[in-house]
Amino acid sequence: MQDSHSERMNAAEGRAAGGLALVFAFRMLGMFMVLPVLATYGQELIGATPTLIGVAIGAYGLTQALLQIPFGILSDRIGRLPVIYFGLLVFALGAGVAAEAESIHGVIAGRVLQGAGAISAAVMALLSDLTREQHRTKAMALIGMSIGLSFAVAMVIGPLLTRAFGLSGLFWATAGMALLGMLIVALVVPRSTHPLSHRESGVARRELLTTLRNKDLLRLDFGILVLHAILMASFVALPLALVEQGGLARDEHWWVYLSALLIGFFGMVPFIIYGEKKRRMRRVLAGAVAVLLACELYFLLFGQSLRTLVVGFVLFFTAFNLLEASLPSLVSKVAPAAGKGTAMGVYSTSQFLGAALGGMLGGWLFDQGGLTWVFAGCASLSALWLIIAATMREPPYVTSLRLPLSAAALADAGLVQRLLGTAGVTDAVVVAEEAALYVKLDTEQLDRTSLERLIEAPSAC
């Protein structure tokens, strides 16, 4: 008989993972497409100032940060699909408001409304409902890849769409993507017959205070906040630097982003492999933050020509891609066994807060002192992050699992103690109301099959 843990996803799981990855991708594509163009094309809007353009760039992050956890909790109560449909509709309405706006204030209002369609937690919870335990990590990884790909595509097609149809056309395309996402949910994603409420993909309010007290997690939350603050602030300045100092017409920026993202993506891969294989992710993380700091100083001191700016872009996106890929994995490693969903919820909230703060800070700094102030401000944030990252401990190299328990295993009072005494198990928690075990293990010392045999073994063994 084939091992159930080695078999592929079934058709329904494949449709769920692929469909929800597309929903995520289209939504994030619409969110990111404005980054490379708003600083240049936004100057034509009535009332536009660098500060307000920065607010427009990051405004979506504020409502995302405020609403994503409440929307996730709401999806546990009223169902995933109503929350997802509502969120996508609100996102589309926000894009429509921005598309029809003639002033920067209208675009800001549209971006705020877009952010209010905060469906990330509900989509991840639906994915958990529709996939088996052994395939859930792969399905979530597919969504993670779709987000990264959408960012790369947005950097290229955002300038191309805006060149062809203007900012209004760009926002209408964003609205269309949200409506297409609704169609995918309706026609492709299977219906869930057994909604789950568990601590791997959702926020557990009882775990929230513990998560906020965990210093290792707080370092990572601060890191993603700073990373996205730097990203948004940099995109207030970098498109303008390409025009003013690089002499590159705003319609031609796409090839710079495409080149930098492609080289940056392949450039980060060896460092990810090194960090995971050699178990040196702390060193890799600190090194990437140091490169980010060096990039901002490089832009500040040497970004006076197109050639030097392109070199800076390549280094910037190599460090950014590396950090964007590493941080969620580190959160998963550091989070307590039964607190992964809560830790990721706080992490995502920090990410969106960083986007909001970065856009506002970048616009204000540009108003005060132009490109110089923006790059200096981003360098200061990077330096602060580097100091905090240097105090981080090497993370445990473990895998988080949620395993359903049989009635006999659930009644085994010595289960947790027996597991914690086993080499390779670093944390284990039984959640009786879910009839499930949350466990963290080093797969180099203990594989899943051996763990399951250990769980079902009688306590007297």
Give the Cα separation of 135 and 17 in Å (integer). Answer: 10
Q: Are 40 and 158 in contact (CB under 8 A)?
A: no
- Give the pLDDT mean for 286-306: 95
Q: Across-strand partners of 401? A: 439
- Give the pLDDT mean for 346-369: 94
- pLDDT at residue 242 above 80? yes
- pLDDT at residue 4 above 60? no
Q: Which residue has the tokens 């950090």?
A: 323
- pLDDT at residue 350 above 90? yes
- Give the pLDDT mean for 175-190: 93
Domains, the chain: 11-192+205-390 (1.20.1250.20), 399-456 (3.30.70.100)
Q: What is the pLDDT of residue 88?
A: 95
Give the Cα separation of 268 and 264 in Å (integer). Answer: 6
Give the Cα separation of 436 and 351 in Å (integer). Answer: 30
Angle (CA) 217-219-220 rounded to 5° is: 65
pLDDT band at 1 (very low <50, low <70, confident <90, very high): very low
Angle (CA) 221-34-297 rounded to 5° is: 55
Which tens digit of pLDDT belongs to each residue from 192-231?
A: 766 666 666 666 667 777 788 889 999 999 999 999 999 9
Give the range among 52-61, 287-296, 404-413 with minimum mean pLDDT. Answer: 404-413
Give the Cα separation of 430 and 435 in Å (integer). Answer: 8
Which of 191, 186, 184 lies closest to 22, judged by CA?
184
Q: What is the pLDDT of residue 2?
A: 37
No. of helices (H) and no. of strands (E), the chain: 16, 3
End-to-end CA distance of the chain: 27
Tokens of 51: 């500060």
Give the Cα separation of 453 and 93 in Å (integer). Answer: 52
| Cα–chain center distance at 434 | 27
Indicate the average pLDDT of the chain: 87
Q: What is the pLDDT of residue 194?
A: 66
Q: Compute, in degrees rounded to 10, the torsion defined by CA atoms 94, 327, 145, 338.
A: -90
| Cα–chain center distance at 328 | 8
Q: Which residue has the tokens 């399905």?
A: 139
Tokens of 451: 């763990």
- State the maximum Cα–Cα separation within the chain, in Å, rounded to a whole number: 76
Which tens digit of pLDDT belongs to each residue from 111-154?
A: 999 999 888 888 888 888 888 766 777 777 788 788 888 888 99
pTM value?
Answer: 0.89
Q: What is the pLDDT of residue 458?
A: 60
Give the range among 105-109, 221-225, 405-409 with minimum mean pLDDT. Answer: 405-409
Q: What is the pLDDT of residue 72?
A: 82
Taking CA atoms, 143 is separated from 120, 321, 332, 351, in Å, by: 11, 16, 15, 17
Give the Cα separation of 171 and 194 in Å (integer). Answer: 37
Q: Determine what percent of the chain is predicted with pLDDT higher than 90.
A: 50
Computed from CA positions of residues 78, 81, 82, 83, in that sequence, does the dihedral angle turn out positive or negative?
positive
Q: How does DSSP assign 108-155, residue by residue?
A: HHHHHHHHT---HHHHHHHHHHHS-HHHHHHHHHHHHHHHHHHHHHHH
